[in-house]
């Protein structure tokens, strides 16, 4: 497991923390990383403040193989992510010719390439540009930090490029097993199953059914397919051996 790449996500934006917007980018990233065999280990949502961005970037880039940021790279005054990431990594940042050329191709080189739009050509020295096929203005990779747009369609499009820039790991396999018994009944036996299969991560997730009452899904995950199949068999045997039921939930 030591060579499994790890990752963290930083969602930058007051609009998520105010409740105005629901972050959807973390789930999209998590799904892509899962397919690439990379563990998303932590997510953070932080304010549009320079010190917050610097603190989060430095805490997480030291700890994980990859760090992804979402938001704050547009042309307005509250878009401060690129500069803050450059500051965090003590790298100079300026309007780069390659990024300017991308914007000029989109807007023309006349007055529609406003000063505000030129802010989107500010890229740290040495950073690798990340394609934005939706709206032009690129993201970038600096060291192990990937700076992406916040608009979900642009974020997802940039991930298509990112996918080709990162090292993949052994894929995590998973099985979901619906369970007719509540957690309070299966909790004890499931603890025994989990202890007997240490290379498999086993979780149970209760949910309120639309029709009322509780349903539980048991999810088992492992990079070892054979170990996963053994655990799956043990979970089915456990369910078959259980009796009794009552309402329950977290």
Site residues for its own copies, 3-32, by CB under 8 A, read 11, 13-24, 26-31
Closest separation in Å from C-beta 178 to its own copies: 14
Q: Which of 61, 117, 122, 223 binds its own copies (CB under 8 A)?
A: 117
Binding mask 56-95 for its own copies (x = CB under 8 A): ---------------x-xxxxxxx----------------
Decide: helix, strand or coil at residue 86: helix
Q: Which is nearer to its own copies, 191 or 199 (by Cβ)? A: 191
Which residues contact residue 121 at a Cβ distance below 8 angstroms, ignoring those fewer than 6 apart?
95, 96, 99, 100, 102, 103, 137
Strand order in the sheet with 173-179: 173-179, 214-222, 201-208
Q: For its own copies, which is the closer residue by CB, 126 or 188?
A: 188
167: number of CA atoms within 13 Å, CB side?
9
Q: Which of residues 122-161 bind its own copies (CB under 8 A)?
A: 134-137, 149-151, 153-154
- Which of 173, 184, 230, 242 is the binder for its own copies (CB under 8 A)? 184
Question: 90, 198, 240, 250: which one contacts its own copies (CB under 8 A)?
Answer: 250
Distances (CA, A) of 133 to 102, 111, 128, 155, 206: 11, 23, 16, 10, 40
Contact with its own copies (CB under 8 A) among 172, 177, 227, 242: 172
Q: Which stretch binds its own copies (CB under 8 A): 86-94, 121-129, 163-171, 188-196?
A: 188-196
Question: Does residue 197 interact with its own copies by CB under 8 A?
Answer: no
What DSSP element (H or E) covers 139? strand 139-142
User: For residues 21 and 29, what is the distance between their CA atoms, to the nearest angstrom?
Assistant: 17
Q: Are 120 and 99 in contact (CB under 8 A)?
A: yes
Region near its own copies per CB under 8 A, out of 47-55, 83-91, 123-131, 223-231: 47-55
Total residue length of the chain: 250
> Which listed residue (207, 225, 233, 237) binds its own copies by CB under 8 A?
207
Residue closer to its own copies, measured from CB, 90 or 104: 104
Helix H segments across 89-224?
Answer: 97-107, 115-118, 152-162, 183-196
């Amino acid at each position: 497991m030591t060579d499994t790449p790890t990752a963290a996500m930083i969602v930058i934006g007051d609009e998520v923390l105010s409740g105005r917007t629901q972050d959807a980018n973390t789930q999209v990233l998590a799904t892509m990383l899962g397919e690439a065999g990379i563990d998303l280990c932590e997510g953070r949502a932080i304010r549009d403040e320079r010190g917050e961005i610097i603190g989060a970037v430095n805490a997480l880039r030291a700890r994980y193989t990859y760090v992804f940021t979402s938001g704050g790279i547009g042309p307005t005054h509250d878009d401060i992510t690129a500069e803050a990431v450059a500051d965090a990594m003590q790298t100079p940042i300026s309007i780069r010719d390659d990024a300017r050329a991308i914007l000029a191709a989109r807007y023309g080189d006349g007055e529609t390439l406003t000063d505000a739009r030129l802010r989107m050509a500010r890229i740290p020295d040495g950073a690798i540009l990340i394609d934005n096929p939706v709206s032009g203005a690129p993201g970038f990779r600096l060291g192990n930090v990937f700076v992406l747009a916040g608009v979900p369609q642009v974020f997802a499009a940039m991930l298509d490029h990112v996918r080709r820039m990162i090292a993949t790991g052994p894929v995590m396999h998973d099985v979901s097993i619906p369970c007719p018994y509540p957690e309070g009944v299966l909790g004890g036996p499931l603890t025994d199953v989990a202890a007997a299969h240490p290379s498999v991560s086993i979780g149970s997730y209760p949910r309120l059914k639309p029709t009322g009452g509780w349903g539980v899904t048991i999810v088992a995950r492992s990079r070892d397919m054979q170990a996963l199949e053994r655990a799956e068999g043990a979970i089915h045997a456990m369910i078959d051996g259980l009796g009794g039921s009552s309402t329950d939930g977290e």
